[in-house]
Structure 1
C-alpha cells in the first residue's frame, strides 16, 4: 500500500449527484465529503499495510466505507454493493462512474489488520481532530457518560454445551491444520459421531444422570486430545493453536482430574465452593464460549447477558437550542468485559480524553461510576469535577433516618480526634487496611458512651460504644461535600443534564444496533463501537449543517392535540 491523496469527486458523478438532489438536501456521504474533505488519509493506516506485494484498496477509504456501513447498519456484502451502486458513496470516495469496487471480504481483512496494529481508535481520533480545528469540540465544558450491555456474537452455552463445543472446536482446528496427525491419533469415525455437528441441549438426553455422564465423556475426550497434542512426538506448533489453548483452559476451569489408588484416573466436574466443591473460577476469568474467549456472563439488576459493556461519552450543554454553537458529539467510546464495574472504567475514559485533549471541566455520570477516590483523583489529576450522586451513608442510623449519622460527628484531623454531637471526644484513632484500602477506625470508650442519655439513638453495639470507620481525609471530605451538594435542589436541577446520555445510547441502539456485537473478540467489538460513534457523529453533524437538529422524541397526534389545547 502506497499512501496517496484521495482523488477529487469525478465530474460525471458530481454532476449526476447534483442533478438528482436539485432542490433537496444532499445525502450524508456527499455532505461529509464537501464539509470534511479527505477525512481519513491513507498514511494514518500505513503501518498496518506492507509497502510491497499486490496493490490493495485505499485503507482510508475502507475506513470511510465502514463508517457509512454503520450509519445504515449494513452487512459487509451490502456495503460493498453500495460502493458499486450508489452515486453518493462514489462521490464521497472519489470513485469514477465505471469503478467496480471491491469484494466484500476486503472489509473483514481491513478490520483484522487495523485490530492487529492497535489502530481501533484512529477514525474517531481523526474526526475529532478535524472537528476541534473547526471549533465544534474542545477541552473544558461539559460532558456526560453512560453505559449499556452488549450481547456477544456467539451462541449462549451452558456448562455442558461449553465442554462439548470446546472439544469440537479444538478437533475442527486440528483437523484443518494437521489432518494426517488427527487421523493417526484419533478414532475418526467414533469422534465424528459425537462432534460432527454443534453441541446442542435439544439433542442431548433428558435424564440428568445421562447428562452428567455425557459431561464426563466430553472431559475425558478433551483430556485425551490434549495428551496427544502435548505428546513429545507431536509437532510443538499444534499446542499454540488458539482452540487448543481454549480447550485447556475450559477443562481446567470446569473439571478436576485426580489419580486414585491403583493408578486409575478420576475426572469430576467442579462445583461451587459454597456447595462443598472445589470451586469454580470467578466470573471475570471464566470462559463462556470457545469461539470468543473474551466474552463473559454478567448480571445487572434484572439483566443477565453474555458479552461486553459499552461506555459512551459525549459533549453536552444546557444552553437553549437556538443559542448552541455546536451539536452534542461523541468524544469517546470504551468497550470492556461485561464483568468490569463502571467505576473501574472511568479512569481509562479520562486517560483517553486526555490523549485527545478533550478533557471536560465537568463530567456528568450516574451513581455507578463514582467513588471517593475517583472524585479526588479526577480533580487532582485531570482537573475534572465529577457531577454525580455518590453512595449515601450506609450505617443503620442513616438507613433508618434516626439517631446520629456519621456526618453529625466533627473530625479534628490535626489532633486525630472525633467529637460526637453530645460533645464527647473519641478515645482511639487506628489507621488500618480494609479490603486493600487505607481506612481509619475511630472508637469511643464505654465509660463515655455508657451514661450518655441518647446512647440508644447513637449505637446498638453490644459493647455499648460508638465506632466510626473513616476514609483518609481527602476522601472523607470529598464524600461529605458531595453528599451535601446532591441534597440541594439547584444541584439536582443541574444534574438533569446527565439524562441526555440515555438518548445517545438509544440512538446508538436504533441506528447501529450496538446492543449486539457484529464481530467476535473484545478488540473487534471495540472497533465496531468506534466506527459506530463516528457514524453517529456524522449523522448529528449532517443534521446540524442543514439546520435540522435531531429530535429523539416521538410526539403522538394525541400529544400534539394536548399541546395545542394548552396553548
Structure 2
C-alpha cells in the first residue's frame, strides 16, 4: 500500500449542509471539525507506507477513526459501518455523503503498521500537539499521575494448567509447521490428555493428583524435547516461538532429578517478573496489589489539572503487572520533558514516593507532592524503640551518635538494591553493657543503614510536612486522576486488553487516552461543565471549611 496525496481536506458542501441541518443544537464531532479542521497530519504517517502500490486510505482519517472506535468501544466491522452511515462522522472526516467507506480489515492493518513501525505514540502525540497549539494545555502547569491494573486477553491459570496448555500449544504449532514430522512422534495418550480444552476432560481433583498429573506432563515434555534434539529432526523447529515458550515454561516449573527425570517445582520457581503465566502472552505477568491479583499489565495516566483549562492526559505508560510505581516515575518525567510538558508541581500517591524520587524530581525542576510511606524498620516494633530519627548524624565527620551518647565505630559506603547507602556500625563494647540495648537492637551491636545526606533529608522533610493541614489540603487535587481512570475503564474499556502483547496493549492505552482528550476538548468547546468529585449527601450539609 502507498500513501498518495496528503493535502488538507475540506468538508463537502452537501455533507456540511445536511450535518448542520440535523445537529442544530451542536455536536461533538462537528465542533471539533469547525475548530481544528484536520486533527492529524497524514505526512507524519508516511514512513509507515511504501512509495509504490495501491493507494491506501488516508492515514490521517484512519487515525481519527481509530480514536473514535476506542471512545465508543466499537469493533472494526461496526466502526466501518458507522463511517459509512453517520452524518457526524462524515462531517468530521470531510467525506462526501455517498462515500462508500472502507473495508473493516483496513483498521486492523493500520494498527499493525503502527505497532510494527513503533509509531503507536503518533496517535496520542499528534492530537496533544494540536490541542497545545490552541492554548488548551499550559506549559509547567500542575499535573497528576496514577495507575490501574489491566487484564490481559488470556485466562488466569494455575501452574499445572500453565504446563498443560503450553504443551498443547507446542503440539498445535508443530502440527502447522511440520505436520509430517509430528505425525511420526505423536504418542497415543496425548490425544486424550491434551486434545481438549481444560473444562470438559477429567482433571486432577486434589493435591496428590495434581502433583502426579504435573509429573506426567513433564515427562511428555521430555519425550518431545528428545525428539526435537534427534539428528533427523529439522533444526529450525527449535526457533518456533511456541517451542521456545515450552522450553522456558519447563525450566521454570521443573527441576532435574538424579534419575534423569523431572520433578515439579513446589517452591523454587522464578519470581513473577520472569514467570511465564500464559503461553499465549509472554508479556502478561501476575500482579498483586493489596487484595487484587491479576494476570496482565498496568497503565499509568498523567493529566493536566489547571482549573481554567480542560484536563488532558499528557502521558501514558504501559508496563507488565509486576512493575512498581516508583520504577515508572522517572520514565514519566523523561517523556514529559521530551514533549516540553514537565509540570512545576506533580501530584502522586504514596506508591510513587521514595527518597530518591523526591531528589530526582527536584533536579528536574519538579516539586513532587505525595505522602511518603512511614518508617517500618524492624527496630520500630515497640512503642519505646529507638528509630533512626533518634540518632544524631554528622555527615561531615562521618559519624553517628546514639541516644546513649556513644559514637559509631565505622562508616562505609555501599549499595543496596542498586541504591547508594551508608552502613554504620557501633562497637560491641559500647552496645553490650548499654542500659538502652533492649530499646535499640536485638543483636550484639546496633547497625544502621543510611541514605546519602540529601536523599535522607528530603525524605525527613516530607514526613514532617505531610502531616500539616496545608499539605493535606493542597494534595487533594491528586484525587481527580481517579475520575480519569474511571472514564477510561468504564467508557472506553481500558482495563481489559483487546490484544496480546505489551506493544499492542500500549497502543490500546494510547488510543483510549486520545479518546478521553478528544471528548474533553469537545465538551470544553461546547461549554459542557466539568464533573465534580461526588460527595455523600450528608457531607453536603456541612458548611464549607475555611
TM-score normalized by the length of structure 2: 0.91
2:270 is matched with which residue: 275, 278, 281?
Answer: 281
Asked if 2 retains the 8 angstrom alpha-carbon contact of 1:329 and 1:537, the reply is yes
Supply the distance in 2 between the matched residues of 1:340 and 1:158 (Cα, whole angstroms): 21
SS at 1:305's partner residue? Answer: strand
Please say if 1:7 is aligned against 2:6: no
Supply the distance in 1 between the matched residues of 2:301 and 2:318 (Cα, whole angstroms): 9
Asked if 1 retains the 8 angstrom alpha-carbon contact of 2:423 and 2:448, the reply is yes
Per the alignment, residue 216 of structure 2 pairs with 217
Supply the distance in 2 between the matched residues of 1:201 and 1:367 (Cα, whole angstroms): 46
SS at 1:66's partner residue? Answer: helix
How do residues 149-164 of structure 1 correspond to structure 2 at under 5 angstroms? Answer: 149-164=149-164
Q: How far has the Cα of 1:524 moved from its partner?
A: 0.5
SS at 2:323's partner residue? Answer: coil
Q: How far has the Cα of 1:532 moved from its partner?
A: 0.3
Per the alignment, residue 305 of structure 2 pairs with 316
Please say if 1:98 is aligned against 2:98: yes
| Stretches of structure 2 lacking an aligned partner (at least 5 in a row) | none
Q: How far has the Cα of 1:358 moved from its partner?
A: 0.8
Tell which deviates more after alignment, 282-291 or 465-474.
465-474
Per the alignment, residue 320 of structure 2 pairs with 337
Asked if 2 retains the 8 angstrom alpha-carbon contact of 1:503 and 1:552, the reply is no
Per the alignment, residue 440 of structure 1 pairs with 422
Please say if 1:37 is aligned against 2:20: no
Q: How far has the Cα of 1:230 moved from its partner?
A: 4.4
How do residues 387-466 of structure 1 correspond to structure 2 at under 5 angstroms? Answer: 387-395=369-377, 400=382, 402=384, 404-420=386-402, 425-445=407-427, 455=436, 459-461=440-442, 463=444, 466=446
Asked if 1 retains the 8 angstrom alpha-carbon contact of 2:31 and 2:526, the reply is no
SS at 1:245's partner residue? Answer: helix
Please say if 1:551 is aligned against 2:531: yes
How do residues 357-372 of structure 1 correspond to structure 2 at under 5 angstroms? Answer: 357-372=340-355
**TM-aligned CA distance change 1:449 to 1:218, over 3 Å:** closer
Per the alignment, residue 47 of structure 2 pairs with 47
Per the alignment, residue 21 of structure 2 pairs with 19
How do residues 53-64 of structure 1 correspond to structure 2 at under 5 angstroms? Answer: 53-64=53-64
Supply the distance in 2 between the matched residues of 1:468 and 1:43 (Cα, whole angstroms): 59
**TM-aligned CA distance change 1:190 to 1:510, over 3 Å:** same
Q: How far has the Cα of 1:410 moved from its partner?
A: 3.2
| Stretches of structure 1 lacking an aligned partner (at least 5 in a row) | 273-278
Q: How far has the Cα of 1:193 moved from its partner?
A: 4.0
Give CA-to-partner distance per residue, 1:431-452, whole Å, 9 cap, x none.
3333443322334456766887
Asked if 1 retains the 8 angstrom alpha-carbon contact of 2:175 and 2:182, the reply is yes
Supply the distance in 1 between the matched residues of 2:394 and 2:539 (Cα, whole angstroms): 59
**TM-aligned CA distance change 1:270 to 1:446, over 3 Å:** closer
Please say if 1:356 is aligned against 2:356: no
**TM-aligned CA distance change 1:253 to 1:442, over 3 Å:** closer
**TM-aligned CA distance change 1:53 to 1:256, over 3 Å:** farther
Give CA-to-partner distance per residue, 1:181-206, whole Å, 9 cap, x none.
3334435x764444333233764243
Supply the distance in 1 between the matched residues of 2:352 and 2:330 (Cα, whole angstroms): 10
Tell which deviates more after alignment, 501-510 or 91-100.
91-100
SS at 2:301's partner residue? Answer: strand
Supply the distance in 1 between the matched residues of 2:540 and 2:331 (Cα, whole angstroms): 47
Q: How far has the Cα of 1:429 moved from its partner?
A: 2.6
Supply the distance in 2 between the matched residues of 1:536 and 1:178 (Cα, whole angstroms): 47
Supply the distance in 2 between the matched residues of 1:95 and 1:504 (Cα, whole angstroms): 32
**TM-aligned CA distance change 1:301 to 1:9, over 3 Å:** same
Per the alignment, residue 509 of structure 1 pairs with 489
TM-score normalized by the length of structure 1: 0.88
Please say if 1:483 is aligned against 2:482: no
Asked if 2 retains the 8 angstrom alpha-carbon contact of 1:402 and 1:457, the reply is no
SS at 2:421's partner residue? Answer: strand
Per the alignment, residue 206 of structure 1 pairs with 205
Asked if 2 retains the 8 angstrom alpha-carbon contact of 1:161 and 1:200, the reply is no
Per the alignment, residue 276 of structure 1 pairs with none
**TM-aligned CA distance change 1:506 to 1:199, over 3 Å:** same
Asked if 1 retains the 8 angstrom alpha-carbon contact of 2:29 and 2:522, the reply is no
**TM-aligned CA distance change 1:235 to 1:403, over 3 Å:** closer
How do residues 55-134 of structure 1 correspond to structure 2 at under 5 angstroms? Answer: 55-134=55-134
Please say if 1:244 is aligned against 2:243: yes
**TM-aligned CA distance change 1:331 to 1:451, over 3 Å:** same
Give CA-to-partner distance per residue, 1:489-510, whole Å, 9 cap, x none.
2111111111111111111111
Asked if 1 retains the 8 angstrom alpha-carbon contact of 2:356 and 2:455, the reply is yes
Supply the distance in 2 between the matched residues of 1:422 and 1:47 (Cα, whole angstroms): 70
